[in-house]
Amino acid sequence: MEIDRPEVVAEVTAAFNRYEQALVSNDVATLDAIFRNDPRTIRYGGGENLYGYQEIEAFRAARSPVGLARTISRTVITAYGRDMAVASTLFHRPSSPGKVGRQQQTWVRFPDGWFVVAAHVSMIDEPKG
């Protein structure tokens, strides 16, 4: 298996950046389109466990657009072969001082494009030092 094929990393990076832009602008249609429409798609959030695309879609529709601004850092995108990658990043929100967010997404290439099939978002106290 080839790890980090440059063209695959570039494709997933573009998809990840599309997700990030949609997230901070509350572009719900794009966010929905990025997650695989499948009952096996899972998203663990800061306060919710969402099983299946329908639960994720309902969460996005009901989510407040307030406080979505954030900065990201330490983003790592690792591709495994041609059709699977993991994106990991840290984020900070002005609305959550003293906290650091962590986000991981598993991306899979299907015949119709790249989609998130699993995601985890959580926040912890900012590490000291």
Q: What is the pTM of this model?
A: 0.94
d(CA 94, CA 115): 29
Fold of domain 6-125: Nuclear Transport Factor 2; Chain: A, (3.10.450)
The answer to whether the beta carbons of residues 60 and 78 sit under 8 Å apart is no
Q: Which pLDDT score is estimated for 64?
A: 86
d(CA 15, CA 46): 22
d(CA 75, CA 126): 17
Q: How far is CA 33 from the centre of its chain?
A: 12
- Residues in the chain with pLDDT < 50? none
Q: Which pLDDT score is estimated for 65?
A: 84
DSSP state at residue 5:
-
Q: Which pLDDT score is estimated for 66?
A: 86
